[in-house]
Amino acid sequence: MTDVARVAVVDDDRAIRWVLERALAQPDLDVECIERADLALSRLLDDPPDVLVTDIRMPGIDGLDLMSRVRDVHPDLPVIVMTAHSDLDSAVASYQGGAFEYLPKPFDVDEALALVRRAVAHARERKRPVSVPEGLDAEIIGEAPAMQEVFRAIGRLSHSHITVLINGESGTGKERVARALHQHSPRTGKPFIALNMAAIPRDLIESELFGHEKGAFTGATAQRQGRFEQADGGTLFLDEIGDMPAETQTRLLRVLADGEFYRVGGHTPVKVDVRIIAATHQNLETLVEDGRFREDLFHRLNVIRVHLPKLAERREDIPRLARHFLAEASKELSTDVKVLTKDAETHLTRLPWPGNVRQLENTCRWLTVMASGREVLIEDLPPELREPEAAERGNGDWRAAFRDWADRALAAGHTHLLEEAVPDFEKILIETALKHTGGRKGEAAELLGWGRNTLTRKLKTLLPALADGE
């Protein structure tokens, strides 16, 4: 038998009390209506209900003052604040006072009932202890096969100083992997310096990397160490290496070859011992073919390559990642840890996540601030994630799905969208054509409208495992 939850309604409007008393007359709810806050206060303090529903403007003590006094003694009591004066100040004051939810009048009685039930569920959830799963402080979370490959690569490289190139879409966690490579290397006690090429104005990149001498340019009032010197003995992580200007690529190549460089405006060589870990979401082979990235530098960087999968390719990791990010957000914001319901967790695993792990992390931070109760339901998700069609992408017209992907990717901050999409687009067409021809490349090339040589070149770049053989 379901436990009966006690609900107290405080409102000086007899009609509202009458409506709520009947709307909340459910087998699992016991409703008590009180017409004044000052009459309700001592009763609520001595014998608190499971949920308090209160108006704001009432004679004597108002609803916000009532909520404040009751929550001082019973801080876990969920309070639903009602008011006919639905303005911004009332809403802000309600939430700042710790309201579970704000309900402007007039309201739909079914909505009010659903809100009370959620508040009851929240109150009961608060009484159950939350245990944060072990291992959530791990550097990288991942049980999917593709992530296990990443872990194996980090393990194999743990005793190495070798250069590593990390490939992966924006938001897949390339810097986390770079830090893990550093922390599990012989350089772990030395500096880890990260620099994002895409975030620095082109005319400042060389000064950022190599430093400058006093007077080297306008504003250079003192000598400054660059990131190479700061990382001496440790690791320099160059993110979005594909955005590095051509002249800087040439200087970087010399540093990798000689282990020394000149500060901007300097004449004395500076010797450093730095391990380079580079990362990009772009296809560097394509940039090399287009003449936008030096081929010799590419081969210097591409000694060991680690590929990070998209979040959509490791869906089994989403629940654990979400729990981790919710726990992190609760620490950051000094609030309770939110807990996903099973339905919400399942829904999240079906979404496309164009922004990858970073988008999931930001969603968990949003939920920690915006979700009413400790238990997160599907309806608590941001509007763009809770629509039923959000979890059903891919059915129907591929052009509509592709347009939707582009829209979401741009909204998530992706750049160079063609370089991200075209290789995947071509890879899918090649794989499908080969499937239809039983692996016969000549016929597949004909189906695609390419020459045999074009298909062979594309296979070497996009699907090297299929490049050999017929």
Q: Is the pLDDT of residue 292 over 50?
A: yes
- Top pLDDT among 448 and 146 is at 448
Residues 338, 295, single domain; the answer is no
How high is the pLDDT of residue 445?
A: 86
Residues 330, 366, single domain; the answer is yes
Residues 154, 267, single domain; the answer is yes
Q: Is the pLDDT of residue 413 over 80?
A: no
Q: Considering just the CA atoms, what is the radius of gyration of the chain in Å?
A: 29
Over residues 131-154, mean pLDDT: 67
Contact 354, 408 (CB under 8 A): yes
How far is CA 417 from its chain centroid?
Answer: 19
Q: What is the average pLDDT score of the chain? A: 85
Phi–psi pair at 244, nearest 5 degrees: -70, 130
- The token pair that represents 80 in the structure block: 């639903």
Q: Within a domain: residue 141?
A: no
Residues 302, 332, single domain; the answer is no
Task: Give the range among 43-57, 209-223, 264-278, 301-315 with minimum mean pLDDT.
Answer: 209-223
Over residues 413-419, mean pLDDT: 76
Residues 335, 303, single domain; the answer is no
- pLDDT range class, residue 440, cuts 50, 70, 90: confident
Q: Where are the alpha helices (DSSP H) in 97-245?
A: 109-127, 145-156, 174-183, 205-210, 227-230
Q: Within a domain: residue 133?
A: no
Residues 118, 159, single domain; the answer is no
- The token pair that represents 251 in the structure block: 């200087």
Here the CATH number for the domain that contains residue 36 is 3.40.50.2300
How high is the pLDDT of residue 131?
A: 44
> Shortest CA distance to 426 belongs to which of 396, 468, 455?
455
CA gap 334, 326 in Å, rounded: 12
Q: What is the dihedral of CA 20, 26, 29, 34, to 10 degrees?
A: 30
Residue-number span of the structural domain to which 324 is assigned:
313-386
Give me the numbers of helices (H) and strands (E) for the chain, helices first please: 20, 14
Q: What is the dihedral of CA 240, 245, 251, 253, to 10 degrees?
A: 50
Residues 170, 300, single domain; the answer is yes
Residues 204, 267, single domain; the answer is yes
Q: Is the pLDDT of residue 52 over 90?
A: yes
Q: Within a domain: residue 447?
A: yes
pTM of the model: 0.63
- pLDDT range class, residue 133, cuts 50, 70, 90: very low
Contact 322, 364 (CB under 8 A): yes
- pLDDT range class, residue 304, cuts 50, 70, 90: very high
pLDDT digits (tens, 9 = 90+) for 310-348: 999 899 999 999 999 999 999 998 888 999 999 999 999
Here the CATH number for the domain that contains residue 250 is 3.40.50.300
Q: Is the pLDDT of residue 193 over 90?
A: yes
Residues 153, 273, single domain; the answer is yes
Q: Within a domain: residue 79?
A: yes
Task: Give the range among 145-159, 269-283, 309-323 with minimum mean pLDDT.
Answer: 145-159
How high is the pLDDT of residue 402?
A: 73
Residues 283, 414, single domain; the answer is no
For the chain, first and last CA: distance in Å? Answer: 68
**Reduced to 3 states, what is the DSSP secondary structure of residue 153?**
helix
How far is CA 151 from its chain centroid?
Answer: 20
Q: Given 386, 412, 444, which residue is the final one in a domain?
A: 386
Residues 239, 286, single domain; the answer is yes
> Shortest CA distance to 204 belongs to which of 129, 161, 264, 258?
264
Q: Given 73, 97, 127, which residue is the final one in a domain?
A: 127
Q: Within a domain: residue 159?
A: yes
Domain count, the chain: 4
Q: Is the pLDDT of residue 469 over 80?
A: no
Q: Within a domain: residue 293?
A: yes
Q: Given 386, 410, 428, which residue is the final one in a domain?
A: 386
Residues 258, 154, single domain; the answer is yes
Q: Within a domain: residue 137?
A: no
Instruction: State how far the alpha carbon of 167 is from the alpha carbons of 15, 145, 351, 358, 443, in Å.
Output: 64, 17, 23, 16, 31
Contact 340, 348 (CB under 8 A): yes
Q: Is the pLDDT of residue 134 over 80?
A: no
Phi–psi pair at 167, nearest 5 degrees: -105, 140
* Residue 172: DSSP 8-state: S
Here the CATH number for the domain that contains residue 455 is 1.10.10.60
How far is CA 396 from its chain centroid?
Answer: 28
Q: Within a domain: residue 101?
A: yes
Over residues 211-225, mean pLDDT: 82
Phi–psi pair at 34, nearest 5 degrees: -130, 135
Q: Is the pLDDT of residue 435 over 80?
A: no
Q: Is the pLDDT of residue 136 over 50?
A: no
Q: What percent of the chain has pLDDT over 70?
A: 90
Q: Is the pLDDT of residue 403 over 80?
A: no
Task: Give the range among 115-119, 129-133, 147-151, 379-383 with minimum mean pLDDT.
Answer: 129-133
Contact 154, 82 (CB under 8 A): no
Cα angle value 379/383/389 (rounded, 5°): 90
CA gap 151, 170 in Å, rounded: 19
Over residues 217-222, mean pLDDT: 78
